[in-house]
């Protein structure tokens, strides 16, 4: 199976009772029940509570997935998980079947949770988003999943995806309308951007940097929209328009 919306801040339903419940199966319920006790203890030890809103960041280099949680005064890092496997190289996904994992700003609703995945447990990150569609990028079913196998997805070990899945499932079940998933080629520091300045993707990566920086500065997930086919970031205190004209769509 090939793995192949605009991200906004973590939202809460105005009426939680009307929110869509994440789908589930007996197998998924059993896995989550086995995972929760140890996970809840770790959360308590770090001052978090299961069900708090989450935010996910993925860095292809060095292959890490971060789960941040909102305690009510901004997001704090709960845990960093090593990505077991992903296919392709730094750079966005462009075409169906190119074996590339995407980069950009995505979001996950309850409907995107997949307890029936052939790869243990999974959720669809939401590729292609509005930006990808404006660039005529194709593909679908890009997942974060288990089984440590990947063809365009981000594969975790089963134990890691079980924890991540519970954190996502319970946040959505308790009222978070959607959670953001920001995927970067690397940590978007000036030094790293300079290091990769000769890449054909450097101009695209420069359009991702304001989203990274807005979160780093505020610890609030920025609102990200697409205007004229380009990302526009609105942080808590100011707007950052990404000024960029592609010489060609790679």
Q: Which residues are catalytic?
A: 145, 153
| CB 218 within 8 Å of CB 73 | no
Residue 133: CB atoms within 10 Å: 14
Residues 6+ apart with CB under 8 A from 151: 1, 2, 3, 87, 99
Q: Are strands 54-61 and 176-186 parallel, antiparallel or unpaired?
A: parallel
Spatial CA neighbour of 186 closest among 170, 197, 172:
197
Contacts from 128-131 at CB under 8 Å and sequence distance 24+? 128/102, 129/5, 129/6, 129/7, 129/104, 129/105, 129/226, 130/5, 130/6, 130/226, 131/6, 131/104, 131/105, 131/226, 131/229, 131/230, 131/231
Spatial separation of the C-alpha atoms in residues 196 and 191, rounded to whole Å: 9
Name the phi and psi angles at 155, rounded to 5. -100, 135
């Amino acid at each position: 199976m090939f793995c192949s919306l605009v991200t906004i801040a973590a939202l809460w339903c105005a009426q939680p009772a009307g929110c869509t419940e994440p789908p589930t199966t007996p197998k998924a319920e059993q896995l989550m029940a086995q995972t929760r006790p140890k996970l809840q203890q770790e959360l308590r030890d770090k001052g978090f509570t299961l069900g708090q809103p989450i935010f996910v960041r993925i860095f292809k280099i060095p292959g890490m997935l971060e789960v941040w949680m909102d305690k009510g005064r901004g997001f704090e890092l709960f845990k960093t998980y090593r990505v077991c496997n992903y296919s392709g190289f730094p750079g966005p996904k462009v075409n169906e079947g190119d074996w590339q994992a995407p980069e950009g700003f995505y979001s996950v609703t309850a409907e995107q949770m997949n307890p029936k995945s052939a790869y243990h447990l999974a959720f669809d990150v939401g590729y292609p988003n509005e930006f990808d569609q404006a660039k005529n990028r194709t593909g679908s079913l890009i997942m974060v999943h288990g089984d440590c196998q990947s063809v365009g997805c981000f594969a975790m070990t089963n134990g890691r995806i079980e924890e991540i899945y519970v954190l996502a499932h319970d946040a959505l079940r308790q009222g978070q309308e959607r959670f953001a998933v920001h995927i970067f080629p690397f940590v978007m520091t000036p030094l790293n951007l300079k290091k990769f300045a000769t890449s054909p993707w450097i101009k695209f990566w420069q359009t991702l940097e304001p989203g990274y920086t807005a979160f780093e500065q505020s610890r609030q997930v920025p609102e990200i929209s697409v205007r004229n086919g380009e990302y526009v970031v609105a942080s808590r205190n100011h707007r950052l328009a990404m000024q960029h004209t592609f010489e060609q769509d790679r």
